[in-house]
Structure 1
Amino acid sequence: MTDSKSALRIDVSKGGPGSGKGTQCANIVQHFGYTHLSAGDLLRAEIKSGSENGTMIQEMIKEGKIVPSEVTIKLLQKAMQESGNDKFLIDGFPRNEENRAAFESITKIEPEFVLFFDCSEEEMERRLLNRNQGRVDDNIETIRKRFKVFLESSIPVVEYYDSKGKVRKIDAAKSVEEVFEAVKAIFTQKYEKAAAV
């Protein structure tokens, strides 16, 4: 990874639970050479490591508290440095405006763009109930709570970046293949623009 922060290319992936974000992030990584950073995965890995930091994170989650932005951002920064890559796709962060402001203030980096997987609540609900992966949070009450949190916390972040012309909205109600075609078009256009500069 280069020392120059401006050389880093960071994109953010946003979408409600069940919008197909995880599947598309995996496709982007495979196709375009990005390193996928999931805030949730990094927090879970830190807990598993048994470190002092991990124990603190676990206690906070157990008590239903939100892990401080600084903690998540430090884990993201560490993962970026260790990856050796300069292209990152951040998933599940920033979750809210406070996360966003803290990320930009600490890293001095703004994402190049935000990929927003737009999907109706009905469709996301149907997908989550159908996926049946044995996840405890895939029941109707929990799903609806997650939608509410997403609308209240994450949509303001999408709106903020939209006001800066950084949001690329994708109709995520289509098939996985159709959605990825739309994703590919966005990334291809981005690379063509970069090459023309």
Structure 2
Amino acid sequence: MGTVVEAANKGVNGSITEKNPTVVFVLGGPGSGKGTQCANIVEHFGYTHLSAGDLLRAEIKSGSENGTMIQNMIKEGKIVPSEVTIKLLQRAMQESGNDKFLIDGFPRNEENRAAFENVTGIEPAFVLFFDCPEEEMERRLLSRNQGREDDNIETIRKRFNVFLESSLPVINYYDGKAKVRKIDAARPVQDIFETVKAIFAPKNEKAD
């Protein structure tokens, strides 16, 4: 029996690639301020913001056969296969009708990265890397702790270590291709956005 992912893949692969979309990967540790800046980029530059985590959660919530499979894998402590996440991203890209995308929190590791390029045939235009010291991320996460279970000090440190181990090889890979735009994310939000604007504005003007 076909899964939602298989169904989503039919006709998606060709058509979204034909649009020759602009894809920007957005990476940074927990508390680096990615979400805030993504919202600003969407507002000012017309990108569609896709969060891999949000798409997986939405699929689980939908109660689809595919969502149940994802939920069971997570419950069993298994990693959801890259292809599953990528198909959800492809479907969301297709349904958005846009051709400019911020993909947030993905790829999480080298295997995700290779699979994304193989499955979609799309290479990111660049990677926006929010570089923030661990102490600053800890401070932000603890100060925003409003009932989020994952915002305690041990969990924060674990999440930070996972980010370092898994995502830094991805950043290094794209750095080797001169595709990383590193942002000092320890500064005030508005200062960070001024830097972000300088990265996006020239491309945006050409596109217009």
Q: TM-score, normalised on structure 2?
A: 0.90
Structure 1 letter corresponding to 2:84:
V
Distance 2:42 2:146 in 1: 23
Q: Count the aligned residue pairs.
A: 195
Structure 1 residue 55 corresponds to structure 2 residue 68: yes
The structural deviation recorded for 1:4 is: 4.7
Structure 2 letter corresponding to 1:91:
D
Asked if the contact 2:41/2:47 (under 8 Å) is kept, the reply is: yes
Asked if the contact 1:42/1:76 (under 8 Å) is kept, the reply is: yes
SS in 2 for 1:29: helix
Distance 2:181 2:16 in 1: 28
Q: Deviations over 1:45-81 (max 9, x none)?
A: 0000000110011111112211000000000000001
2:33 maps to which residue?
20
The runs of 5 or more residues in structure 2 that have no matched partner are 1-11
Q: CA, structure 1 residues 164+44, in 2 after alignment: closer, same or farther (shift >3 Å)?
A: same
1:80 maps to which residue?
93
Q: TM-score, normalised on structure 1?
A: 0.95
Q: Deviations over 1:85-143 (max 9, x none)?
A: 00000001100000000000000000000000010001001100001121100000000
Structure 1 residue 136 corresponds to structure 2 residue 149: yes
Query: Of residues 173, 184, 191 in structure 2, which corresponds to 1:171?
Result: 184
Structure 2 letter corresponding to 1:146:
R
2:116 maps to which residue?
103
Structure 1 letter corresponding to 2:46:
G
SS in 2 for 1:14: strand
The structural deviation recorded for 1:10 is: 0.5
The runs of 5 or more residues in structure 1 that have no matched partner are none
2:134 maps to which residue?
121
Structure 2 letter corresponding to 1:20:
G
Aligned sequence identity (%): 79
2:161 maps to which residue?
148
SS in 1 for 2:30: coil
Distance 1:83 1:144 in 2: 35
Q: Deviations over 1:133-164 (max 9, x none)?
A: 21100000000000110000001001100100
Distance 2:80 2:29 in 1: 20
Q: CA, structure 1 residues 4+132, in 2 after alignment: closer, same or farther (shift >3 Å)?
A: closer
Give 4+ residue runs of structure 1 displaced > 3 Å after superposition.
Answer: 1-6
Distance 1:189 1:170 in 2: 17
2:8 maps to which residue?
none
Cα RMSD, aligned residues only: 1.6
Distance 2:129 2:54 in 1: 20
Asked if the contact 2:45/2:204 (under 8 Å) is kept, the reply is: no
Query: Of residues 47, 51, 56 in structure 2, which corresponds to 1:34?
Result: 47
Structure 1 residue 8 corresponds to structure 2 residue 33: no
The structural deviation recorded for 1:5 is: 3.5
